[in-house]
Structure 1
Amino acid sequence: MDIQTIETKSERLLVIVEDDAILSRTLGRSFERRGYKVLLASNLEDLEVVLHQHKPDYAVVDLKLNDNASGLDCIKKLHARHDGMLIVVLTGFASIGTAVEAIKLGACHYLAKPSNTDDIEAAFGHVAGQTLNVTERQTTSIKTLEWEHIHDVLAQTGFNVSEAARRLGMHRRTLARKIEKKRIQ
């Protein structure tokens, strides 16, 4: 008798539509450390390619993309593909009009930048009819921000500790000690 293992944990697939490559990578890595599989798109065309190959359950969309493109078009595309998708809009240009339009198009929440991974996950878990007060959120600690920056630089350098230390302006041994304290994923 052949016994097969069945994986019960479902994969949390997230697409991030953000034209700022550094923010996109940093946010992506932060979500990956939380157990999400992350797909990145920098514009509507990239998003269409991603949606052709995958069916994400979560999305983080920047409202204003390069070339004056609108994240609202991305929300339409995402919602048309999977109407149960949880979509959070991030913007540095918050306004009531765009917030209302984003919600009408299918976004579950609208957050002003800067918002961290905790804020976005809270917005995904937001239950309709309840108020999510992001002004009372816990801010990300300096240590967490420092680690996320270190991890991003390490990834950019192909995890070359010497080069990462040079780019971070710290001694190689100092960086090595920080890495030892926290395992790289």
Structure 2
Amino acid sequence: MQTETAFAPRPAMAPTGDMSMLLVDDDRPFLQRLSRALEQRGFAVTTAEGVSEGIAALKASAPAYAVVDMRLGDGNGLDVVQALRSAREDARAVVLTGYGNIATAVTAVKLGAIDYLAKPADADEVIAALMREPDERPEPPENPMSADRVRWEHIQRIYELCDRNVSETARRLSMHRRTLQRILAKRAPR
């Protein structure tokens, strides 16, 4: 009996010739701006503003590429990435988010995303991530995370590992529960 691994095999190269792309984001101005920029670079873009709309679009025609926002109005963008990998194994997806943390980045990659970018990402960054070879290392960031951001990322990671249980996370971090709630309610530091 064969056992399946948690990691799906990554395609060695980007799908050749097929420039179809699904773009899923609930921020309409950003969605329209990125869609236009990607179309100008030769992609045939289909847009969706939520998880259900995105899954319906990929069931109609599974694209070669996808750019999916992590947090959408009707759910988690990782559901779209997982559905895409089920519909088309050679598809390449990038997850975008304004609420980046290490735990969700790892989950995104496990579910089939090839990269995880913080918003606001421009079309060139998205295309570079989609076309990068699996063994190719990305360039180091121009502006690495601050110490405050690293602390926030660590808290978010523990929070995710505790299944978003505030009391358990606070206990494990030796932090007062209300202090943790205030930290979680704020946006990520730069």
TM-score above 0.5, yes or no: yes
CA separation in 1, counterparts of 2:64 and 2:119? 22
- For residue 62 of structure 1, what is the aligned residue in structure 2? 69
Matched, 1:124 2:130: yes
- Normalised to the residue count of structure 1, the TM-score between the two structures is 0.65
What TM-score comes out, normalization by structure 2 length? Answer: 0.63
Q: Does the CA contact (< 8 Å) of 2:59 and 2:87 recur in 1? A: no
Partner of 1:183: none
Shift of 1:10: 3.4
Contact 2:95–2:116 (8 Å) recurs in 1: yes
User: Is it true that 1:45 corresponds to 2:32 in the alignment?
Assistant: no
Q: Secondary structure at the match of 1:26?
A: helix
- DSSP 3-state at the match of 1:108: strand
What is the DSSP-based 3-state SS (H/G/I as helix, E as strand, rest coil) of the residue aligned with 2:26? coil
After superposition, what is the alpha-carbon deviation per residue over 1:24-81, rounded to whole angstroms, capped at 9, x for unaligned? 11100000101111000111211122123212100000001114x1111111111111
Native 8 Å contact 1:119 1:134 kept in 2: no
Instruction: State the aligned residue count.
Output: 128
Q: State the Cα RMSD in Å.
A: 1.7
Q: Which residue of 1 aligns with 2:17?
A: 10
Larger-gyration structure (1/2)? 1
Q: Which amino acid aligns with 1:26?
A: R
User: What CA distance in whole angstroms lies between the structure 2 residues aligned with 1:52 and 1:29?
Assistant: 23
Partner of residue 41, structure 2:
34
Who is 2:119 aligned against? Answer: 113
Counterparts of residues 96-175 of structure 1 (less than 5 Å): 96-133=102-139, 135-136=141-142
Give the deviation of 1:134 after TM superposition.
5.9
CA distance in 2, matches of 1:123, 1:30: 15
Superposed displacement of residue 127, structure 1: 1.4
Partner of 1:165: none
Identity %: 36
Amino acid at match of 2:136: Q
Shift, 1:106, TM fit:
0.2
Shift of 1:133: 2.6
Letter in 2 for 1:46: E
Equivalent position of 1:81 in the other structure: 87
Question: Which protein is richer in helix relative to its size?
Answer: 1
- Give 5+ residue unaligned stretches, structure 2: 1-15, 144-190
Counterpart among 21, 46, 51 of residue 28 in structure 2? 21
> What one-letter code is carried by the residue in structure 1 that aligns with 2:82?
K
Q: 1:92 and 1:134, CA in 2 relative to 1: closer, same or farther beyond 3 A? A: farther
CA contact (8 A) 1:31 1:38 kept: yes
